[in-house]
Structure 1
């Protein structure tokens, strides 16, 4: 009897792919990062400008990736594009960074966010079990790890399980988010909060809380303002990241040459609209400026409790009940987000293993035609990051490194247009060459700004990439 050949099956349609794009993008960031942005630049108008710029950059990148996805509809996505343009060495550095911090770091952070909001309903999760100088382990961390293991297990049992779970959770959080935004705008615009926020909307300032609890406010203008904006936009860029995950599962999408570009456009469009409307709703419900002690309205966006702007906005709409409603929504959002991240990440490491640049066992598929070993490798490292307590630092390092690889990948468009002019391109990048060049130029300026204003973290980001150099040669030598 002839054995069944294990291979990736193309079973995901346009709706599934779009659900993965939107679901992977919406995690916990949109409910939190506006507080940090408010402290960094203190201007409602400039905050909205940064979210609009983030939307433009995200859409521009997604449309540019559409051309690459149409040319190379293979498992691994961005890893494959980089390899085609620059060779295996550079593509390995990308895959290495994705494994060490970008994918696994985000999975760990999202899982911890899930457990943090679960603790709103179950306070016993706050209990610390181990408190050593070198490691602290709490019930919340164990729940975070359990959620990663559970989602990994579900995704090893076939693509159908993963896509069904992704569709359910993405649909639920999109409906809930749209409902809260509409309700927030309805309630907020009946007060004078929005008008007060925008009465001096272009006045920018940086607010710093000192170690002794005092607050220092510094007016911003000119070069200082541009520098602060360039540094704080990393918050909105992080919230809008992971849209490229759909390219990792290109080997399992029906008609990928058309459906991947379409899903990239539709998914990023839906999310960017939601993000802008959510920030308008926040500014309608809460004062931008506030004080550290007092009521929810007195805290404002700037000093929202633990930066939970979404929860503060919900409490204005529904009172104390709003805190629990928002906690439930973020639990759904983060759980669904991690489902998509875990599903797609394993495919990238599977593609690397196929090239001999990852653990050999990750190059196989199980009886469900899923790269089970690659998924468990990802699960193991993400769980370690949950225990390390350093995932927030890793995310800061990784976001900078991720931006560099986005620039590199979109630059590959120009290289491949010259290198392979006759390759079939079912979809061509919108506005080429001007729009892709704008992305490279603006994102390059942001990276330069981050190097100047956040040298420590950007150096760590580059250091993590550089650590891949000896690892590459170890794999290469073994092969």
Structure 2
């Protein structure tokens, strides 16, 4: 039951908002993507540099978003920033892509990741256990478990912001503590021969491709740039959703202060944990072990070296907690974007209403439906590769919006100003553009379809706009 007179409850503290940021960022990526980064870079030095670049980009963008969030402390976050900095068309294209693929496919992928690692404890839930086979189309028990998790988390969040924030804050604190303990035990299991093989070598900063058989392949000058960009895809995906607290601005206490602070603190915490985790990997695994980790699950291989056979169970439980909490944060934040779109007349009207618990329940459930459809499609993994480039396009636009608004709307109150302005925002824009161009050149099969999905939003915007004018 919805009530158009309802308003958001400001019940999220700085801790809740920070845990929303950190919890939405930490999913399954940190446990997996280092294998692909090691393959693309071929050295421990370059692997860590990729994570440093990713951390710098994420933190720089978060600091810029701090200014935007203080200027526009409204539900919807990035959608609102793009609308205010540019125009409704730009913000709608973002909102459309966000709903069609970015958020919903991510929810599906994280849900399936939860199911895959649950299967370590309960093998009958594995993705290879098929419950329905119709020709080439198959539905596995993992897909159904993913759907079940998405439905449960949507139901929890439809009960009010307090329900969602309790789950988020509790699980995020647990997984941060778990990761810190894993890092600690990893360093305690320090292996000198492994460390020397990774770090005390003349090839520490030799960028090249490492094959599964242990052989290396040299890159051309331009190929090296493409390799770093390819390596960044996994790191950036693992650090995505860092802007989650900006989407729930209407429910955060003292939003002008706490949104920017939560973005900075959340990204800083996760960046530090990611760097320490990867450094820990290099103390117990050499590069060949990383690239040959079964199904790229580097954390599993590291845990086996640290804890023995029981390590697999430890990591499985950690990833289950991590992905469950990650999905809760993504589900909670995503619905507020659709709410803002509906308020502008650019989404289903009901999505712009709040239920008796003061949350956009209709937006939550329509997001749930699309996410479940992605689970059933089995194509979520491919789509995530496709939209990584597009995600960075919108980040670059939003950060550029900070500079644009300084000139076009200088009189707007700015309770917080972007740290390092204009140098850090400009550096981020240049790095983001370089990443986008290199991805379009070296991975067109993945990036071009993502761009086309985003561009499909342009004619849809004009159709909706025309209908809105006819009803005025």
Q: In which range does the TM-score fall when normalised by the shorter chain?
A: over 0.9
Alignment of 1:47-446 (within 5 A): 47-126=47-126, 127-188=129-190, 190-198=191-199, 199=201, 200-208=203-211, 217-220=216-219, 222-289=221-288, 300-446=289-435
> Structure 1, residues 180-228: CA drift from partner, whole Å, max 9, x if none?
001101212x43201111223123321456xxxx787412363322221
Q: 1-side partners of 2:245 and 2:103: how far apart?
A: 13
The answer (yes or no) to whether the contact 2:105–2:384 under 8 Å persists in 1 is yes
Aligned residues: 462
> Structure 1, residues 365-419: CA drift from partner, whole Å, max 9, x if none?
1000010000001000010001111101111111111000000111111111011
SS at match of 2:9: coil
Question: Structure 1: which 5+ residue stretches go unaligned?
Answer: 290-299
The answer (yes or no) to whether the contact 2:114–2:324 under 8 Å persists in 1 is yes
Q: 1-side partners of 2:62 and 2:30: how far apart?
A: 19
Q: 2-side partners of 1:288 and 1:475: how far apart?
A: 52
The answer (yes or no) to whether the contact 2:42–2:216 under 8 Å persists in 1 is no
Q: 2-side partners of 1:226 and 1:349: how far apart?
A: 37
| 1:5 paired residue number | 5
SS at match of 1:254: coil
The answer (yes or no) to whether the contact 2:388–2:447 under 8 Å persists in 1 is no
Q: 2-side partners of 1:102 and 1:159: how far apart?
A: 23
Q: 2-side partners of 1:122 and 1:433: how far apart?
A: 52
Q: TM-score, normalised by structure 2?
A: 0.96
| 1:293 paired residue number | none
SS at match of 2:396: helix
The answer (yes or no) to whether the contact 1:135–1:387 under 8 Å persists in 2 is no
Correspondence 1:473 to 2:447: no
SS at match of 1:192: helix
| 1:30 paired residue number | 30
CA RMSD, aligned part only?
A: 1.4
What is the deviation of 1:322? 0.3
Q: 2-side partners of 1:174 and 1:143: how far apart?
A: 25
Greater Cα shift, 129-138 or 439-448: 129-138
Q: 1-side partners of 2:364 and 2:430: how far apart?
A: 35
What is the deviation of 1:177? 0.2
Q: 2-side partners of 1:322 and 1:418: how far apart?
A: 55
What is the deviation of 1:458? 1.1
Greater Cα shift, 423-432 or 36-45: 36-45
The answer (yes or no) to whether the contact 1:115–1:144 under 8 Å persists in 2 is yes
Q: 1-side partners of 2:409 and 2:304: how far apart?
A: 56
Q: 2-side partners of 1:236 and 1:433: how far apart?
A: 25
What is the deviation of 1:246? 1.1
The answer (yes or no) to whether the contact 1:204–1:221 under 8 Å persists in 2 is no
| 1:42 paired residue number | 42
What is the deviation of 1:470? 2.3
Q: 2-side partners of 1:366 and 1:72: how far apart?
A: 24
What is the deviation of 1:428? 0.2
The answer (yes or no) to whether the contact 2:48–2:275 under 8 Å persists in 1 is yes
> Structure 1, residues 72-114: CA drift from partner, whole Å, max 9, x if none?
0000011001001111111000000110111111111100000
Q: 1-side partners of 2:115 and 2:94: how far apart?
A: 29
Q: 1-side partners of 2:273 and 2:233: how far apart?
A: 18
Alignment of 1:7-22 (within 5 A): 7-22=7-22
> Structure 1, residues 226-252: CA drift from partner, whole Å, max 9, x if none?
221122211101101100111110111
Q: 2-side partners of 1:243 and 1:4: how far apart?
A: 30
The answer (yes or no) to whether the contact 1:41–1:220 under 8 Å persists in 2 is no
Q: 2-side partners of 1:133 and 1:458: how far apart?
A: 30
Q: 2-side partners of 1:4 and 1:424: how far apart?
A: 29
